[in-house]
Amino acid sequence: MPVITLSKNRFSTFIGRSITVEEMAKWLPWAGFDIEDVEPDYVKVEFNPNRIDFSSTAGVARAFSGLREWKTGLAKYEVEKGKVVLNVDSSVSEVRPYVLAAIIRNMRWDDESVRELMEMQEDLHWGVGRDRRKVSIGVHNMDVVQPPFSYVTSAPNAVRFVPLDKVEEMSLQEILKKHEKGIGYSHLVDWAPKYPLIIDSQKRVLSFPPIINGELTKVDSQTQNLFIEITGTDYNAIARSLNVLVTALSDMGGTVESVRVNYSDRTVVSPDLLPQRMKLRIDYANELLGLKLSESKVIQSLRKSRLDAKKISKGVLQVSIPAYRIDIMHEIDLVEEVAVGYGYFRLKPTKPATITTGKQHGASEKANHVRQIMIGLGFIEAMNFILTNEVAHFEKMRQKVSREMVKLANPVSTENSIARVELLPSLMKNLADNKHESYPQQLFEVSDVIRISEKTETASERRLHMAGVCSHPVANFTEIKSIVEALLADLNVKRWKVKAARNPSFLEGRVATIHVKDRKVGILGEVHPEVITNFELENPVSAFEIDLEEV
């Protein structure tokens, strides 16, 4: 989850009163924050990824002031009509079709605010922009360039500029090949014949979206006027991200000015900070929350969540949603706003009236019977992972790896590359891990394996298996045979028989398969000495495994 550090002093400025870190830490969780750390001069919090507007201190302060009833209702944002134009060349539709822009004038800020702006940009890139694919943002010092601006495309080697924090000019191609950001994000453009660029009237490069800005328009705490461009593959996503950014900068003291964005077929005045409207039925909210709030109480709660609401018909409110609340997509989201504004701490738990009787799943019932029997036979239960790898699962057991099994496409660790098809290899591993413990050792497991199965929807099926191992100096076939016979008798399995068999994991002449109603359901025998050695064990091991789906 994303994190923001709220300095006590900055936070106090935004809420317009002085506050202690204790008070911050007490109230922030009621707005949905997780407290990570409380220090004398700051509070570090995690916020939920849907609330990208919390990526600035301004954004957190808005919600906090509402919750404390210091400032309630919709925060209003004015956009001054500007004259600056951004022309969009139609060629961008081939690579990165959408752009919007805004101007922020008269910023008076410090290094801290600049750093926060950068972090906000990163949070937007990640949370909404899907790591810059959908949305990427460029913030520029407007005073060093000359509008009108253009969003164009350029051949990979036609333009050179100095990328941010560098001193030498590079071509677009060089940036993709050599620059650290270029290498990291090249996949977003390198497939296109021409790459996107934002330039000014003198053809100076502001940015190479979504890769990197130019050094020319670098922003620092001395910068007064900002030009913000935002490009991407999803028009709504860039419009919303721009709103989150612009409203935060407005709260930081800047004046928002619009930009005329000229597409070949239309002109957009950007940004659009008009509140969104949505209906909320009071009954709907009350029924889901288990409350009986009056219309005015619902309105008051919504205002504490920094929304506005007015009645439009009996039991129905028209809710105004500020431009930065890009997470609200359904009436249900307003219900939660009512709950947060009302205060989760005021929601008293109640017991539902629903009467039902419970029942355990058949597989659990069967597994529990097996547990009871095996404990009675003196076996300790082991629990192992379904995930394993081919060496542990097949090679050490002297089995061929050629069998069909579930294979993972992208495991982080090579330890986990397949799903087990049997339980016995895990039990052998358990014996190997417990050599220092006293013998005899008798272990069992009752759990799932996963088999490939053409018939099912998921092309595989989980099957409940059970397996057991006995290890001590005189472990042998007879012993495990007695165990299996006792087990099958207690499971009330009828008409089973045992046939001599061959299996590379077991000693020849001391291994048999178990059959129920002529279906092979399992195996038992003395484990092959080579297998024992593969697991670096010394005591003989007798073992069995049964597919419980078949008995």
Partner 1 sequence: MVELREHEQTTLLTLQKLKGKAPVNQIVKASGLAHAAVMRASLSLTMKKLTRVHEQKQTVITLNEEGRYHAKKGLPERRLIRGLLKLKGKASVDEAVKEASLEKKFLTIALGWLNRKGWATIEKKKQVLKAPKEPQIGVDEKLLSLLDQKGLLIIEKLNKQLQDAVSVLKRRKLVKMDEKTLRELELTEAGWKLVKQGIEIVKEVSQLTPELIRTRNWRKVKLRRFDVTAPGPAVYPAKIHPVQQIIQRIREIFLEMGFTEIRGPIVETAFWNFDALFQPQDHPAREMQDTFYLANPKEGKLPKRNIVDAVAKTHENGWKTGSRGWEYQWSRDEAKRLVLRTHTTSVTIRHLAKHKEPPVKVFSVDRVYRNEKVDYKRLAEFHQIEGIIMDKKVTLRDLMGTLKEFYLKLGLKKVQFWPSYFPYTEPSAQSTVYVPKLKTWMELCGMGIFRPEVVEPFGIKHPVLAWGGGLERLIMLKLGVDDMRFLYKNDLGWIRRSPICQ
Structure-token pair, residue 386: 């379904």
Contact with partner 1 (CB under 8 A) among 202, 356, 414, 492: 356
DSSP assignments along 102-145, one per residue? EEEE-----HHHHHHHHHHHHHHHHHTTTTTTSEEEEEEEGGGS
Question: Closest separation between CB of residue 489 and partner 1, Å?
Answer: 18
Question: Cβ(289)–Cβ(339) under 8 Å?
Answer: yes
Contact with partner 1 (CB under 8 A) among 380, 401, 489, 500: 380
The reply on whether position 387 binds partner 1 by CB under 8 A is: yes
DSSP assignments along 384-397, one per residue? --SEE-HHHHTGGG
Site for partner 1 in 326-345 (CB under 8 A): 329-333, 335-336, 339-340, 344-345
Site for partner 1 in 19-48 (CB under 8 A): 29-32, 34, 48
Site for partner 1 in 179-208 (CB under 8 A): none
The smaller minimum CB distance to partner 1, of residues 274 and 347, is found at 347
CA 287 to CA 164: how far, in whole Å? 54
Question: Closest separation between CB of residue 439 and partner 1, Å?
Answer: 10
Contact with partner 1 (CB under 8 A) among 459, 474, 489, 500: 459
Site for partner 1 in 515-534 (CB under 8 A): none
Question: Cβ(377)–Cβ(483) under 8 Å?
Answer: yes
Structure-token pair, residue 128: 């909404």
The smaller minimum CB distance to partner 1, of residues 30 and 42, is found at 30
Beta-carbon neighbour count of residue 339 at 10 Å? 19
Site for partner 1 in 211-270 (CB under 8 A): 234, 236-237
DSSP assignments along 160-175, one per residue? EE-BTT-SS-EEHHHH
Contact with partner 1 (CB under 8 A) among 25, 85, 162, 289: 289
The smaller minimum CB distance to partner 1, of residues 23 and 336, is found at 336
Structure-token pair, residue 195: 């790459």
Question: Closest separation between CB of residue 93 and partner 1, Å?
Answer: 16
The smaller minimum CB distance to partner 1, of residues 88 and 405, is found at 405
State the greatest distance between any 2 C-alpha atoms of the chain, in Å, as a whole number. Answer: 94
Question: Closest separation between CB of residue 238 and partner 1, Å?
Answer: 12
Options 81-89, 155-163, 348-356, 497-505: segment touching partner 1 (CB under 8 A): 348-356
Structure-token pair, residue 318: 């028209």
Contact with partner 1 (CB under 8 A) among 358, 473, 492, 499: 358
Contact with partner 1 (CB under 8 A) among 202, 222, 313, 350: 350
The smaller minimum CB distance to partner 1, of residues 29 and 509, is found at 29
Site for partner 1 in 120-139 (CB under 8 A): 126, 130-131, 133-134
Torsion over CA: 327, 331, 337, 343 (sign): negative
Best CA proximity match to 252, nearest among 112, 131, 346, 144: 112
Question: Cβ(423)–Cβ(436) under 8 Å?
Answer: no
CA 468 to CA 14: how far, in whole Å? 66
The Cα-based distances of 240 to 53, 124, 128, 271, 383 in angstroms read 10, 10, 9, 9, 49
Options 91-99, 248-256, 412-420, 532-540: segment touching partner 1 (CB under 8 A): 412-420
Q: Which helix (H) or strand (E) is 268 found in, with range?
A: strand 267-270
DSSP assignments along 63-92, one per residue? HHHHHTTSS-SPPP---B----EEEE-GGG
The reply on whether position 409 binds partner 1 by CB under 8 A is: yes
Q: How many residues bind partner 1 (CB under 8 A)?
A: 98
Question: Cβ(187)–Cβ(210) under 8 Å?
Answer: no
Would you state the torsion angle of the CA atoms of residues 140, 144, 145, 146, taken in this order, to the nearest 10 degrees?
A: 130
Best CA proximity match to 97, nearest among 134, 138, 137, 129: 134
The reply on whether position 408 binds partner 1 by CB under 8 A is: yes
Options 205-213, 255-263, 323-331, 483-491: segment touching partner 1 (CB under 8 A): 323-331
Contact with partner 1 (CB under 8 A) among 267, 296, 456, 482: 456
Question: Cβ(99)–Cβ(261) under 8 Å?
Answer: yes
Options 87-95, 154-162, 350-358, 504-512: segment touching partner 1 (CB under 8 A): 350-358
The smaller minimum CB distance to partner 1, of residues 408 and 474, is found at 408
Contact with partner 1 (CB under 8 A) among 84, 363, 491, 498: 363
The smaller minimum CB distance to partner 1, of residues 51 and 528, is found at 51
Options 214-222, 223-231, 390-398, 414-422: segment touching partner 1 (CB under 8 A): 414-422
CA 323 to CA 313: how far, in whole Å? 25
Question: Closest separation between CB of residue 506 and partner 1, Å?
Answer: 22
The smaller minimum CB distance to partner 1, of residues 170 and 328, is found at 328
Q: Which residues contact 488 (CB under 8 A, 6 or more apart)?
A: 496, 514, 551
The reply on whether position 370 binds partner 1 by CB under 8 A is: no
The reply on whether position 401 binds partner 1 by CB under 8 A is: no
Peptide bond into 349 cis (omega under 30): no
